[in-house]
Structure 1
Amino acid sequence: MSNIEKKQKFDVATGELRNWQGRKEWFFNRDDTDHYEMYYEGPYKRQEVWQKKTLENLIKSDSRVKTLLEFGCGTTRFTRWWKEIGIEATGGDISPFMLGQGVHLFDGDLVLADSHHMPFKDHSFDALAFVTTFEYYKDPVKVIREAVRVGKYGIVFGMMNRNTPKLVRRRVQQVFGRNNYYVTAHFYTPSSLKELIDEALFDRDYSIKWQATGLPKWFPVQQWHQPYGDFFGLHVQLNDV
């Protein structure tokens, strides 16, 4: 057994994937994964609508994108949606518990794999998508490079924004054990994510568009080009292919 295999050994009896990225993750905890879909159907429903509008505006700006791989697809909440906007999607995730739900909800292809080592040939898809999952990668530069290897025309990110008043609430919930979803999350801003992209794609020709949402219901706009709000979408379009 290789070192990688040893580090990622899955204990079926306890339901624990040991030492993935050197730490425990919420998406290997059935108490958290079993409630994921209900979270979107409940208090997060309105936010989901605006998140999808934001991602659609970005990805549809590149007419070349007809197929997409969403990594960290979880229960396929967003993977199921891409078809509604004319994009054929495939999902990938490292959590068997999340995919165990997704396989019953999604009629497309799913793969159990690590985003740092995507099991696909170069340019297998037109684009890659990460929706509220990129925050959990310990080697994000490597993941970005994998993404542009597999996704020919670019990447679309859906991100939990660091620039939000709810950041304090997220961290307080974390400290008191009220929200396991944020314990290992690293929150980005549009600016800090672009810095990572610059580092990963220093030898590529690309352009970036982004838009923020997740604003209060009473706010006069729900999408804007200011780096504030609970969520932002960012699209990297590769221009050298």
Structure 2
Amino acid sequence: MTQTTDGAQLAALRFMGKVVAAFSHDFKNSLAIINENAGLLKDLTAMAGSGRPLDPGRFETLADRIGQQVQRADEMTRQINCFAHSMDKTAQEVDLSEMLALAAALSRRPAALQRVVLEVAPASEPLRLTVFVFGLQRVLYECLQTAISASKPGSQVRLSAAGSARMMKVTIAPTDAAEKDLTPPEKIEQLADSLGAGIESEAGCLAVVWRRA
């Protein structure tokens, strides 16, 4: 095994580690909220058991809060499961808009820490692409980190997809970037090339482009 191969595998593992760590933090936050509200429910139950009159609405409010966090955790489970299966095959046919939604989910925590909102604008019709999904998510993740890092707090980064007979394109556009020239790491440009794509920087945006002959 060459040093280059070792470096590529280590970079892939680091990417996986970042994603899993971010999701574990969010899971822990949901569990903390559930635990807090479950404790309040227990206190209210004890108060009711002692004969103290209570407003049923308080129970309903706490149950709703717990339900919201259960739904949030369920959605995160679906997302991390989808990410895990991105390594199943070296080539899978996927819908590009769905890949953007997953990419936004994987970068949700880094964006929140920078107080940047990610907005996904799906294509008006399905855009089918056969690609190594794990590699695609790495490319989108690194492009998003570049855009997030360049964005001012309180701004947005918009992800959109478009396609034609000759080209498919993902655009990552900060709405208020502190830097106008966005340049992703060279290693990601190389990875994009291995996926048959190129990365272009244009008018303060990053674009991942697949051109058809």
Same fold per TM (> 0.5)?
no
Higher normalized contact order (CA 8 Å, seq sep 6+, divided by chain length): 1
Higher share in helix: 2
* TM-score (normalised: structure 1): 0.28
* TM-score (normalised: structure 2): 0.31
